[in-house]
Amino acid sequence: MKTVLKYYRKYWYLIIISLAFLAGEAICELQLPSYMSGLLENGVGASDMAVIWSYGWKMILLSVTACVCAVTVGFLSSIIGSKISRDLRFDVFSQVMNFAGEEYNKFSVSSLITRSTNDITQIQMLTIITLRLIMFAPIMGIGGSIMAVEYSGGISSLAWVIAAAILIIIVLIVIALTIVQPKFTKMQKQIDRVNQIAGDELNGMMVIRAFNTQEYEEEKFDKANAELTRTSIFTSRMMALLMPLMTVVMNAIMLTIVWIFAGYVEDFSQIANMVAFMQYALQVIMSFMVISMIFLVLPRARVSINRISEVLNTPISIKNAKGKEESTGQRFKGDVKFESVSYGYGGGALAVENISFEAKSGQVTALIGSTGSGKSTVVSLLPRLMDVTSGKITIDGIDIRDINIKDLRNNIGFVPQKNILFSGNIASNVGYGLDNATEQELQKAVEIAQASEFVNLGEKGFEKEISQGGANVSGGQKQRLAIARAISKKAPIYVFDDSFSALDFKTDAKLRQALAEEMGDACVIIVAQRVGTIKNADRIIVLDDGKVVGDGKHRDLLKTCKTYLDIAKSQLSEEELDL
C-alpha cells in the first residue's frame, strides 16, 4: 500500500485543490435545505413573493455553484487518476525491463500484462471514486447530521431513526464485504489465466492447426472464461443487490420521518422543519450509501494494489556496482576471460560449473556440446543477463560486475538463441539500439549477415514492414536480420548463440567468411550445434553436463576429446573427419 501511496504525494497540490472544491460543493449542498425551510416558512407560509424571489435566487446561485464545483472536482479527479495510472504503468514497465531471469520467472507474461493494464485500471477507478465521492461523503454526513439536529423540531426520536438507518447500512456493507472480498482476489487470478491461455493459443496458432487441436484449445479457453464469468456475475449480483436494499432503507426512513412529524404538525414552521430535516436525513443516508461504494471498489482495488506493489517491490538482482551508476561510454578492446565460473538457476543445482577459458580479441572462440550442456547459460552470463553464482568474468581484466551495465552491453553485439523481431520495419529492427543509423551502415550490416538479397527485394527495401515477432518473414530471414542487428552495433565483442542453425550450409559459410573479413579485430564467441560451423575457430570449448571437457582446435579435439569426436562423427563423413 505504501508503495502506491507515494504516487499520490506527487500530485498533492491537485488533491488539495479538489478538496477545496469539494468543500465548496458540500457547503452549497448543506445550505440548500435550510434555504428551502426558510422559503416555506417565511415566503410560502407568509405569502410574501419578495421573500420567495429572494430565497429562490439564493437557491439558484447555490445550485449553480455546487454544479460548477462538482464538475471541477470530476475534471481534477480524472486528471489525477489518469496521471497516477500513467506513472504506475511506466514504473511497472521500467521495473520489468530491469528484471533478471530470476525475477522475471516469478511472474508469468500474462500476469505482468494483467498487472500493467487491468490492475492499474482498478487503481485509477478507485482514485477517481475516492476523490469525487468518498471525500465528499464524510463532509456531507457530518454536516448533514449537525443540521438535522437543528431542524428536528425538538423531536428526540428522529435521531434514533437516522442512527437505525446508518446501522442497517453498515451491516449490509459488512455482509457484502465478507462475501465479495475473496471473490475479487480470485477474479484477478482468473483474468491472468484467461490472458495466459489466449496468449498461448495466439502464439501457437500454427501448431494448434497442424495438430488439429482447435476444439481442445477452445474447450480450455471456454473453461477458464466460464470460471471468470461466474465469479464476475456473482460479484456483480452482490453489488447490484446492495443498492436496492439501501434504497429501500432510505425510503423507509423517509416514510418514518413523515409519520413521526405528522403527530407534531401545528403550524407551517413544523412543515418547513420537516422538509429540511428530510433533506438533511437524506444527505446523511446518501453519504453512507456513497461510502458503501468504496467498500465495493476497494476490495478489488486492494488486490490490484498488492499485485502492483509486488512487482515494484521485487528487488533487482542485477544492478550497477556502487559508483558505477552512470554510463561513461567506455569502450573495450574485447579480451574476455571466464575464471572458475559457476551458475545455478534460482539457487538450485548448478547448470554450469567451474568454467574457465579465454576469448581474445581478433579470434573466434566457439562453444559446442549436446543439448542442455550449458552453452547458452555461459554466453548469457557475459552481458549480465544473469549473474554468476561463483567465479568471475572479466573484459580487459575488469570484472563485468564493476562495469556500468549500459556500457557493458553497448560493447557486446548479442544474437540470442531465440530470434526476436519487433513490430516496425527492417530499418528499425536492424538499427535497433542505435541513434540515427545511416542507410549505408544498415546496408553494410545486412550484407555481412547475407540478408541484402531479400532486404533489397521489392520497392520498399528497408521500409518493408515487420509484424510482431517477425511473423511475416521466414526463420532464416529472421535469423539473418537478428545477426545484422548485432553487427550494426560495431561492438568489440560479438556473441552468436546458435545463430546459424536456420541457415543452409552455403549461406552459413558465406556469413562466417564475411564476419572474419569485416570483424577481424573483434572478439567473436559462437555457440553452435554444427561442427562444420565452428571447426575453423581459433579455439573450441567443449561442454558436457555443464563442465568443460575439451579445449583446443578442431584437429586436436578429435584426438583428445571423446565428446567432441562423438559429435563430429554424428555430423561428418570419414573423409571430412580426416583422422
| Mean pLDDT, rounded, for 85-103 | 88
Phi then psi for 374, rounded to 5 degrees?
Answer: 105, 15
3-state secondary structure of 564: helix
Q: For residue 65, what pLDDT is reported?
A: 92
Give the full edge-to-edge strand order of the sheet including 398-399.
350-359, 336-344, 390-395, 398-399
Q: What is the mean pLDDT of residues 548-561?
A: 90
pLDDT at 266 (0 to 100): 61
Of 60-69, 143-152, 333-342, 480-489, the range with the lowest mean pLDDT is: 143-152
Residues 6 or more apart whose CB falls under 8 angstroms from that of 349 comprise none
Q: What is the mean pLDDT of residues 462-470?
A: 81
pLDDT of res. 338: 94
- Residue 265 pLDDT: 61
Average pLDDT of the chain, as a whole number = 84
Q: What is the pLDDT of residue 337?
A: 94
Instruction: Give the model's pLDDT for residue 270.
Output: 66
Confidence of residue 460 (pLDDT cuts 50, 70, 90): confident
DSSP labels for 356-398?
A: EEEE-TTSEEEEEESTTSSHHHHHHHTTTSS--SEEEEEETTE
Condensed to tens digits (0 to 9), the pLDDT of residues 520-533 reads: 789 999 998 888 88
pLDDT in tens, 13-45: 998 999 889 888 888 888 887 777 777 666 666
pLDDT above 60 (res 267): no
Q: Classify strands 547-552 and 539-544 as parallel, antiparallel or unpaired.
A: antiparallel
- Report the b/e string of 139-170 with b at 16+ CB within 10 A: bbbebbbebbeebbbebeebeebbeebbebbe
pLDDT at 84: 93
Helix (H) or strand (E) holding 511: helix 505-518
Q: Taking the alpha carbons of 119, 346, 400, 448 in that order, is the dihedral positive or negative?
A: negative
pLDDT tens by residue, 288-337: 777 766 766 777 788 888 889 999 998 888 888 888 888 888 899 989 99
Q: Name the one residue in this structure whose C-alpha cell is 438535522.
A: 148
b/e burial code for range 407-439 (CB count within 10 A of at least 16 → b): bbbbbbbbbbeebebeeebbbbbbbbeeeebee
Question: In degrees rounded to 5, what are phi and psi of residue 323?
Answer: 90, -5
Q: For residue range 208-252, what is the model confidence (pLDDT) as tens digits?
A: 877 788 888 888 889 999 999 998 888 888 777 877 887 788 788
For 526, the 3-state DSSP assignment is strand
What is the percent of the chain with per-residue pLDDT over 90, rounded to a whole number? 20
Handedness of CA 155, 160, 162, 165 (dihedral sign): negative
Sequence-separated (6 or more) residues with CB below 8 Å from residue 203: 469
Cα separations in angstroms, 536 against 82, 230, 477, 540, 554: 59, 63, 25, 9, 7
Q: How far apart are CA 511 and CA 508, in angstroms?
A: 5
pLDDT digits (tens, 9 = 90+) for 372-393: 888 989 999 999 988 898 999 9
Which pLDDT score is estimated for 471? 76
- Predicted confidence at residue 131, as pLDDT, reads 81
pLDDT at 368: 92
- Give the Cα-Cα-Cα angle 39, 284, 150 (nearest 5 degrees): 50
Top pLDDT among 47 and 569 is at 569
What was the pLDDT predicted at 91? 93
Residue 98 reports pLDDT greater than 80:
yes
Confidence of residue 555 (pLDDT cuts 50, 70, 90): confident
Q: What is the pTM of this model?
A: 0.77
Mean pLDDT of 182-194: 82
The answer to whether the CB of 121 falls within 8 A of the CB of 85 is yes
Give the cell for residue 175.
455482509
**Which pLDDT does position 154 carry in this prediction?**
64
Q: Taking residues 347-367, what's their average pLDDT?
A: 88
CA distance 163 to 165: 5
Q: Comparing 66-75, 87-96, 248-257, 488-497, which segment has the lowest mean pLDDT?
A: 248-257
pLDDT at 45: 62
At residue 196 the predicted structure's pLDDT band, cuts being 50, 70 and 90, is confident
- pLDDT recorded at residue 269: 59
Confidence category of residue 357, pLDDT binned at 50, 70, 90: very high
Range of 223-232, 256-265, 347-356 with top mean pLDDT:
223-232
Instruction: Tell me the range of 1-5, 152-156, 568-572 where mean pLDDT is highest.
Output: 568-572
Cα 422–425–426 angle (5° rounding)?
95
pLDDT at 191 over 80: yes
pLDDT band at 356 (very low <50, low <70, confident <90, very high): very high
Give the per-residue pLDDT at 1.
67
Which pLDDT value is given to residue 296? 67
